[in-house]
Amino acid sequence: MKSKGYGAIREQVYSDRLPNGMPVFVVKKSGFYKSYAFFATDYGGADRRFKYGGEWIDTPEGVAHFLEHKMFDTEDGNALVTLSANGAQPNAFTSGGITAYHFESTEKFEENLKILLEFVSVPYFTEESVKKEQGIIGQEIRMSEDDPDYAVYYGLMKLLFRSNPARDSVAGTIESIAEITGETLYRCHKIFYNPSNMCLVVAGDVEPESVFGIAKKVLTAPRGAVPERDYGEPESRAPAGVRAEAKMEVSEPQFMLGASAGWPERGETRLRCELTGGLAAELIAGESSPLYIRLYSEGLIKSDFTGVFESVAGIAYTLFGGSSPNPDRVLAEIKDEIRRVLSPQARVGAEALLDRVKKAEYGCRIRSLDSFPRVCSGAAEACFGGYDFFAAADILRGITAAEVFDFISENMKPENFALSVVSPGTAKPAPGL
């Protein structure tokens, strides 16, 4: 295996490819008691239309999430039960862009790793079990529809984007999951759960060669084609709508506001854009910003307020959200702050704040390296995105004030913001939800 050291962040990463081409990464964490394995496929809820074998294939909403649920089924029982009985803490998740299966354990790590790789690689469904799962996931969907966080987030996504599948729930709808069959699941597993579309990341005090040896022995499937994805027509920066409101049983209005942003497809420029977008959000309304301090002192935002830059399925966006007695006022204040920060007279003060924000973000990045889930998920997403996750700290330090101001000017235009609100009252879906 290749070994690469990152002196500034004191990390040692081993990497290699299996004979079938699948990448394997081991982040050596000497002296740690637990170990963590993260087995991921570049397949998420937004990957509903794709080209494979020269044929365009359309699948219902929710297939990736449904498949994640069913992958724990084995011919002999359930892998979740097996791993738990073996001292591991297993779980899985599906986002808009990836599906991942992971566990942590303090003992029997290699045995548990073998179990993980085996059950994710070999699907086992029956029509009876698929129908049963439709009921289980249906309940999950109904519960999520009663969740204010779900409503306010997807309310904003539907305002910002007209057709991109990321605007729809990863879990799908009651109607869409009714269309999913065992044949659908087997087909999507064959297409997306192939070595060319997956990666394995392990962190802990483990022997890299042992991890690679286990993966080589278990993961013998031949490499396959990487499907071409279709996320619909290119999205406009102008939002599809400017405001949506739903009534739910909340004590205070919940809100999210945001604007669409440009996003490079792959490589280091993608990582740099992600880091720059995060700095821009912090500069405008991060905890140390003048705006945050003022809005908090006036009671317009609470401690749950946050701002982030996110991307998925060929789109990107900056969003701010939390709870507030007056979300429309918060939106107006953020728009005014963007204009103020970009004004020549405010530039010097903003540059000084940005320098502090960069130092704080650098410290957060370093501290996050002790989080095995953060390290492994970040390394897997970087693998799929064509960049080096562990280079982020060095790149962050090199981002200039001009880059951040340019990002704000291009991607945070006040006229491109939209606002999604969940207000106290009798449940009433927002238009388009």
Alpha-carbon span 76 to 78, nearest angstrom: 7
Helix, strand, coil % (nearest 5) of the chain? Answer: 45, 25, 30
- How far apart, in whole angstroms, are the C-alpha atoms of residue 123 and residue 75? 9
35/119 Cα distance (integer angstroms): 19
Residue with tokens 């998925």: 312
- H and E: helices and strands count for the chain: 15, 17
Q: Which two tokens stand for residue 318?
A: 């900056």
Contact call for residues 141 and 171 (beta carbons, < 8 A): yes
To the query of whether residue 282 is one of the catalytic residues in this protein, the response is no
- At 131, the amino acid letter reads K
Residue/partner pairs of 216-221 with CB below 8 Å, 24 or more apart: 216/18, 216/19, 218/114, 218/117, 218/118, 218/121, 219/18, 219/20, 219/22, 219/117, 219/121, 219/195, 220/20, 221/20, 221/121, 221/194, 221/195
Sign of CA dihedral 107, 110, 113, 119: negative
Pick the closest to residue 198 from 98, 79, 274 (CA basis): 98
Please identify which of the residues 68, 133, 145, 310 carries the catalytic annotation.
68
H-helix or E-strand spanning residue 361: helix 347-368
Quick check: helix, strand or coil at residue 244? strand
Which are the catalytic amino acids? 68
